Homo-oligomer: A and B are copies of this chain.
Amino acid sequence: MRHPCAVPRSEPEGTRQIHRQLYKHQSRSLPGTTEQGEHMTHERTASNQAALGASLQDLLAPTLELATWFLSREDELPEPELREPQAMRARLDAGLGDSGHEAAEAMEKMRAILGQTPSSSSWRFLNQLFGGRVGMASAAEMLAVLPNSSMYTLKAAGAQVLVENEVLGRMCSKVGFGSGEGSFVPGGSSANLVALLMARDRAAPGIRDSGSAGSTLIAYTSVEAHYSIPKNAGIIGLGRKNVRLVEADTEGCMIPAALEAAIEADLAAGNKPFFVNATAGTTVRGAFDPIRAIAGVAGKHGLWLHVDGALGGSMALSAEHRHLVDGSELADSFAWNPHKMMGIPLQASVILVARRGSLSASLDETADYLFQADVDEWNPGHRSVQCGRRNDAFKLWAAWYHLGDSGWDARIGRQMALARTAAAMIAVDPELELLEQPQSINVCFVVRGRSSEDVCDLLDHDGIIKIGHGQVRGRRGIRLVCVNPDLDKTTLKKILDEIKLAGRSLAVEGKKP
C-alpha cells in the first residue's frame, strides 16, 4: 500500500515520530470477529480498519507534532513553482481512489499539503481583511472538534448554547442593542442576507408565504459597499437592480443628503424604499459611513437600518475608536465578523438585532422532529438560517474570557497604531505614494510609476507576499490591511522593502508601469 510521493520530506524526525506513535496502534490490531452488526468492537482491528480508520485517540499525538511543525515554518509561503495548479497537483499527488492509505502515510500527505498552504497568520499574508490569530481562540476551535456539537438545541449542544448566548449578549451590549439578540451565521455575506431578509419581511409581510407581488422594494447602500449587498438582493428575489448605490464623499463615506435624494426619487417613481445599509469599514478603504446621520434619514422614511460592520464592527470594543460606529444603537441590525479584527478562526460572523423576535419572524420553521425540549431562548435553531450548525461560539468565548474587554480594546488600539505607523513610513518614502490618510486599518498606496496590480501579482507569484489592490478615488492602489497585531515596525519595513523591490524588478524587466 506504499504510495509514491514526490514531495520532499523536510522533517524525517517528524515522520519517524508519527510512525512510532502509530506502530503501537498497528501492532494492537487483531483479527477479531467481524460479522456485521453482530460482534463489532470499539477496537480498530485489522478487519474493521477499512470502515472506521484510525481512532482520534491514536492520532492526537501525531496531530500535535504536525501542528508544531506547521507553526515553526508558517512564515514561509508555498513554493513559487507550485503557484501553478497543474504543477501542484502533480507534485502533491493527493488523488482519491478505491484503496485507502495507512494512517501514517495519510498524515505525511497532510504535512505535504499543509506545507503548500499559506498561513493567514504569517507576516507575509496581507491579502485579506483578516490575519494573525488569538492563540486561545485557535486552541478552543481545535477542542470544539471533539464534541462536534450542532447548535440547534440545548439538548444537543449542552453548555455550548450557554457560551453562545453569553457571547451574543456581550456583542449586543457593545453595539447598543441592550434588549436585542443575535445568531452566528456562516459569514458576513450571510449576515447581510439575513438583515435584508428581515427588512423585506417587515416591509412586505406577505412575501415569505406568498412570494413577491406589487410594489418594487428598493434598498440603499453606498458605492463603496461590499458586493454581498446586491448579491443578496438577487438571492432573496428583490433584484440586484433594485439596490441603489448612493454617492460617497472623497473619504469613501456615504453622503446622507445623497441618500435622502435617492429615496425621494424612488418615492416619486412609485417605488417602495425599505432598507439602508451603512458600512462600518469598507472593503477597500476601511471607511465608515456616518451611521447617526444615516439613521436620521432612515428613521424619517421608516426604513430598516442595517450596519455592515463585518470589518469595522470591532471598533465597538475600543474606547478610543468607538466613535467610528457612533449611532449603531439606532440601527435595526448589525453584522460583525470576529474573524477579522478580533483574530478568531474562520468562520466567526454574527447578525445582531435590536429587537427580539426579528430573527425568528423570518427564519423560524416548524419542525417537531427537531425542537423537542426546552424553551426557545435555549434553542437557537429557531433564529438560524441553517439547520445543523457548527459551533462558532466557543472559540470567540475563549478568546474573550482570556483577553477581556480590555484586551480587545488594546488589540484595536494596536491595529490602528500600526496603520498610522505604516502610513507615516509610506508618506516619507520617495518611492511610494500614500493615496490617503488611513481612516482605520486599511492603508492604500502605490509604488510610484508602477502598476499596483503588477506589483501584487509579482509578489504573489514569486512567493514573497500575499497582498491585494483596490480602487481609491479612481486610482488602483496596493491595500495593506494592518489587521494582524503581531506585525511591528520591523515587519512593516520588510513588507515595504519587498514591495519596492518588486516595483524595481518590474522596471528592470521592462514591463509597462
Contacts and interface: CB of A to CB of B under 8 A. Distances in A.
Given A401-B100, A407-B53, A211 B216 contact: yes
Interface in A118-155: 118-121, 127-128, 130, 133-136, 138-143, 145-150, 154-155
Contacts of A160: 113, 117
B226 A94 contact: no
Given A96-B404, A135-B54, A397-B96, A67 B346 contact: no
A61 to B, nearest CB: 7
22 contacts: A37-B489, A48-B414, A52-B486, A56-B138, A60-B64, A60-B67, A64-B64, A74-B146, A78-B158, A82-B159, A94-B162, A100-B406, A107-B139, A110-B143, A116-B159, A186-B186, A189-B386, A189-B387, A227-B366, A236-B237, A347-B390, A372-B453
A413 to B, nearest CB: 6
Given A54-B402, A156-B466, A166-B94, A67 B135 contact: no
Given A36-B413, A82-B159, A390-B347, A241 B209 contact: yes
Interface string A168-211: 00100000000000000011111000000100100000011111
A96 B388 contact: no
Contacts of A505: none
Interface stretch (A85-93, A258-266, A273-281, A293-301): A85-93
B466 A401 contact: no
Contact of A67 (B36, B146, B239, B469): B146
A99 interface: yes
Interface stretch (A9-17, A39-47, A326-334, A428-436): A39-47
A255 interface: no
Given A150-B130, A217-B211, A489-B37, A231 B365 contact: yes
Tally of this chain's copies: 2
A460 B155 contact: yes
Nearest to A369: B470
A287 interface: no
A444 to B, nearest CB: 11
A130 to B, nearest CB: 7
A411 interface: yes
Interface in A367-394: 367-370, 372-374, 377-378, 385-391, 394
A42 B457 CA distance: 28
A234 interface: yes
B85 A56 contact: no
A501 B487 CA distance: 60
Interface residues of A, number: 181
Contacts of A130: 148, 150, 388
A369 B283 contact: yes
Interface string A213-226: 10011000000001
B139 A56 contact: yes
A254 interface: no
B387 A94 contact: no
A267 B149 CA distance: 44
A67 B58 CA distance: 12
Contacts of A140: 110
Given A57-B135, A103-B402, A208-B240, 18 more contacts: A42-B488, A53-B135, A60-B68, A67-B143, A85-B377, A96-B397, A97-B404, A103-B136, A117-B147, A117-B158, A127-B155, A130-B150, A186-B187, A187-B387, A190-B385, A235-B362, A236-B236, A347-B389
Nearest to A282: B369
Contact of A40 (B50, B109, B368, B414): B414
Residue of A62, A372, A387 most packed against chain B (CB within 10 A):
A387
A257 interface: no
A249 interface: no
Residue of A135, A406, A407, A485 most packed against chain B (CB within 10 A):
A135
